[in-house]
Chains A and B, each alone.
Chain A
Amino acid sequence: EAQVTQNPRYLITVTGKKLTVTCSQNMNHEYMSWYRQDPGLGLRQIYYSMNVEVTDKGDVPEGYKVSRKEKRNFPLILESPSPNQTSLYFCASNPGGVHTGELFFGEGSRLTVL
């Protein structure tokens, strides 16, 4: 089954404790992206990747890191989480290139930073 898988789905952590949210897709997609969603602010892009070893900042990259060492994986790293990073996070992928249709979403990861 074609899917985007995120882990963990739910996490409560404390300020400053490094964490990684994993994202994996099994569709051989070139484009992958991370979004965060907060009430009233919609989906805001954190980072995106057009292909392996190519990553770019989105609109809200501060406090986050990503890597794209393999095509299928695109982990989101919070080196020193802070309470303002409490949010619902979505990973998404797309075949890449021009006019390639649907953006496939993971189920989301709800993160709480105390």
Chain B
Amino acid sequence: GQNIDQPTEMTATEGAIVQINCTYQTSGFNGLFWYQQHAGEAPTFLSYNVLDGLEEKGRFSSFLSRSKGYSYLLLKELQMKDSASYLCAVRDDKIIFGKGTRLHILP
């Protein structure tokens, strides 16, 4: 079956660094997405990893290990506006999402 796991909630402090992990078990793999979603709004695209390794995009970085079925999203220099849910999604032939990680930022 298909399964994507990520922590339900995390808390971090403004200015700090936080790592959100995602593990997956799918029948096939054609890439892994990370999305940010504020409450009641549509998800916003952050990254798409196909090959192993780290991809950096400003304050956000995403890492993928296909052999381990593992990814993480790294957020640096946290800002209050980063308080949101972060969604991990895997593409097989279809694209399925984990339940999301709600990130709380404390001042």
A residues adjacent to B (C-beta < 8 A): 31, 33, 35, 40-45, 48, 50, 56, 58-59, 88, 90, 92, 94, 98-99, 101-108
The CA of A8 and the CA of B100, in the complex, are separated in Å by 26
B42, B48, B97: the one within 8 Å of A107 (CB): B42
B40, B43, B93, B97: the one within 8 Å of A50 (CB): B93
B43/A42 in contact, CB under 8 A? no
B94's nearest neighbour on chain A, judged by CB, is A48
A42/B87 in contact, CB under 8 A? yes
The CA of A47 and the CA of B107, in the complex, are separated in Å by 41
A103/B89 in contact, CB under 8 A? yes
Contact size range, B: 20 to 34
B93/A42 in contact, CB under 8 A? no
A107's nearest neighbour on chain B, judged by CB, is B42
Give the number of residue pairs across the A-B interface with Cβ within 8 Å: 56
B48/A45 in contact, CB under 8 A? no
B31, B41, B87: the one within 8 Å of A108 (CB): B41
Residue of B42, B50, B93 with highest tally of chain A CB at under 10 A: B42
B33, B87, B96, B100: the one within 8 Å of A59 (CB): B96
Q: List residues 30-49 of chain B with CB under 8 A from any CB of chain A.
A: 30-31, 33, 35, 40-43, 45, 48
A residues near B45, Cβ cutoff 8 Å: 102-104
**B106 at interface, CB cutoff 8 A:** no
A residues near B94, Cβ cutoff 8 Å: 33, 45, 48, 56, 58
Name the 10 nearest CB pairs between A and B, nearest first: A42-B99, A43-B97, A105-B42, A102-B45, A48-B94, A42-B100, A101-B48, A98-B30, A99-B50, A107-B42
**B7 at interface, CB cutoff 8 A:** no
A residues near B30, Cβ cutoff 8 Å: 98-99
Additional 5 contacts, C-beta under 8 A, given A101-B48, A102-B45: A42-B87, A42-B100, A45-B94, A59-B96, A99-B50
A102/B97 in contact, CB under 8 A? no
B98/A105 in contact, CB under 8 A? no
